[in-house]
């Protein structure tokens, strides 16, 4: 799986870093892991700067729908997507599909993403 997932329960944060080519199955496995670990309410950074993908809008809409239908006890946490400026279309597309459900922003730097998450999120401990 091209995603390496690190979960930080004390901080209520998840960092997922992608490498290589991301397939629809890889993305579905990431979503399943977020659901199974109960981390949807956590703040999330998904770094896709070192990844490529040919996932299209329809497939991404399916993933967004799966996230919407997942049972959660608390609101979903904000999502910061880190993407290369020349290849950030996947992140921007996902942002446009899910930004009504929680704060979502695309960044070029993981440091900017982390600062935004810390400044713009309320985390229930």
Q: Where are the domains of the chain?
A: 3-119
3-state secondary structure the chain: CCEEEEEEHHHCEEEEEEEEEECHHHHHHHHHHHHHCCCCCCEEEEEEEEEEECCCHHHHHHHHHHHHHCCCCCCCCCEEEECCCCCCHHHHHHHHHHCCCCCEEEECCHHHHHHHHHHCCCCCC
Summarize pLDDT for 67-121 with one digit per residue, the tens: 667 666 677 788 898 988 766 566 666 666 565 667 888 899 999 999 999 887 7
What's the topology of domain 3-119? Rossmann fold (3.40.50)
Summarize pLDDT for 22-48 with one digit per residue, the tens: 888 888 888 889 889 999 889 999 998
């Amino acid at each position: 799986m091209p995603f390496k997932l690190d979960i930080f329960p004390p901080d209520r944060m998840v960092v997922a870093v992608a490498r290589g080519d991301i397939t629809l199955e890889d993305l579905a496995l990431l979503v399943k892991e977020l659901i199974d670990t109960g981390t949807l309410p956590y703040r999330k950074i998904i770094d896709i700067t070192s990844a490529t993908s040919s996932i299209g809008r329809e497939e991404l809409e399916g993933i967004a729908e799966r996230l919407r239908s997942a049972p959660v006890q608390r609101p979903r946490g904000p999502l910061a997507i880190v993407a290369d400026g020349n290849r950030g279309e996947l992140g921007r597309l996902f942002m446009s599909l899910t930004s009504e459900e929680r704060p979502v922003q695309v960044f070029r730097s993981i440091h900017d993403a982390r600062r935004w998450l810390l400044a713009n999120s309320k985390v229930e401990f």
